[in-house]
Amino acid sequence: MNEGYQYAPQYEDPNNKPLDLKDWIIVLIVQMIPCIGFIMTLVWAFGAGNVNRKRYCQANLIILAISFVLNIVGFILLITVFAGAMASFFSQFSEELESSLAAIRMLFSFM
């Protein structure tokens, strides 16, 4: 009788129901709070609740872990480059530094 008509799916389980705009705004505002946002992201990612929010929080944690690892790698590279530049800088002036130190030692040996 109603062939050709498709009805919107009825969401019986509230955990499978799509989040509306108000719920997404609440999720994003809560995640902006420094410590509580991270804790709530963990709770929403690994606890029972809405499937959409759970998957979003899991993806958010994966991106956070990837960015953390990339930041650590970048920091190590920055420290390595800085240490190499400083070693090169000090090796150029090592002879001048040693002659200055010898002059200072000679000055203090007379006192």
Please report the pLDDT score of residue 8 as a whole number. 64
Indicate whether 4 pLDDT > 70.
Answer: no
CB 39 within 8 Å of CB 31? no
Compute the average pLDDT of residues 33-39: 95
pLDDT band at 75 (very low <50, low <70, confident <90, very high): very high
More confident residue, 1 or 9: 9
Q: Is 44 exposed, middle or buried (0-12, 13-18, 19+ CB in 10 A)?
A: buried
Classify each residue of 62-92 as buried b or exposed e, where b means 16 or more C-beta atoms within 10 Å of its C-beta: eeeeeeeeeeeeeeeeeeeeeeeeeeeeeee
More confident residue, 99 or 11: 99
pLDDT band at 91 (very low <50, low <70, confident <90, very high): confident
